[in-house]
Amino acid sequence: MNADPADQRRLLDLSELDARIRRAQNAKAHPPQAARVQALLAQRTALVQELSSRAGVRDGLRTELSRIESDVAVVDARSARDAQRLAASSNAKEVQGFESEMVSLARRKSDLEDAELDVMERLEVAEAAVAEQEAIVASTNEEGARLSAEAKQAVADATRDLETAQRDRAAVAGGIAADLVALYDRLAVRGNAAGHLHRGTCEACRMVLSGTDMNKLRQAAPDLVVNCPECGAILVRTEESGL
């Protein structure tokens, strides 16, 4: 195939735009924050489960404390009632019975108060553990929200870059002979379709051409479309090609 050397040089612009398009497509599909966001989502599940477990322990202690406080109230009520009956009674046997029950109630209240103190101490530890886990969950949520927002912005930026590059490509391709663009597009399906021959090196595959290949290129007409013997990309020859 023959093509205007100026059109062949424009293929380098087309190749650069295609590279920009690929980068933008990759950035759009895979924002840099995505992996961390996914990790945080998995981490948050485990953190919330742990929070639920700690909250269950705290709530159980609260229930136990409430039960003990209720028992203490019952003991106090019975003690008050027995004290009233004791004050009103003149029967020695009744007095002895009331006094004995009041001693038992005092012992019961002491035991309840000891249990209450123990539960209160454990509840304080449990509430601190819940607060600690809540702070970790909140921090994880905050980081996740921030990274999600950054990822959305990255996708929006990549989308804008992609649309710009696609418009620029269409404009550049429109100024190149259609048959040359068609050849370029066929080659682009498998990789780099065009590369600058710079000082004997194909910049599409970074391979240095042999002396024999360089001699063949020197003999080729300027408008002849030539391909890299290594990668098959269209070789764009310029004053810097080393021919």
Q: What is the pLDDT along the chain (243 residues), one digit of tens a residue?
A: 999 999 999 999 999 999 999 999 999 999 999 999 999 999 999 999 999 999 999 999 999 999 999 999 999 999 998 888 877 777 777 768 878 888 999 999 999 999 999 999 999 999 999 999 999 999 999 999 999 999 999 999 999 999 999 999 999 999 999 999 999 999 999 889 999 999 999 999 999 999 999 999 999 999 999 999 999 999 999 999 998
Q: Which tokens is 234 given?
A: 């269209």
pTM above 0.85, yes or no: no
pLDDT at 97: 81
Burial class (CB in 10 A: 0-12, 13-18, 19+), 31: buried
pLDDT at 88: 76
pLDDT at 85: 82
Long-range CB contact pairs, 100-105, < 8 A, 24+:
105/75, 105/78, 105/79
CA 216 to chain centre: 54
Beta strands 194-198; 234-237: pairing state: parallel
pLDDT at 100: 85
Q: Which tokens is 78 given?
A: 């019975």
pLDDT at 27: 95
Domains of the chain (ranges; CATH) run 5-26+175-237 (no CATH), 29-159 (1.10.287.1490)
Burial class (CB in 10 A: 0-12, 13-18, 19+), 191: exposed
The CA–CA distances, whole Å, from 34 to 24, 37, 38, 161 equal 15, 5, 6, 19
Phi, psi of 75 (to 5 degrees): -60, -45
Residue 180: closest CA among 190, 194, 169, 167: 194
Q: Are the beta carbons of 98 and 82 closer than 8 angstroms? A: yes
CA 151 to chain centre: 9
Burial class (CB in 10 A: 0-12, 13-18, 19+), 219: exposed
Within the chain, strands assigned E span 194-198, 201-202, 207-208, 226-227, 234-237
pLDDT at 191: 87
pLDDT at 93: 78
Phi, psi of 231 (to 5 degrees): -115, -10
Spatial separation of the C-alpha atoms in residues 117 and 65, rounded to whole Å: 9
In which element (H, E) is residue 36 found?
Answer: helix 34-88
pLDDT at 89: 77
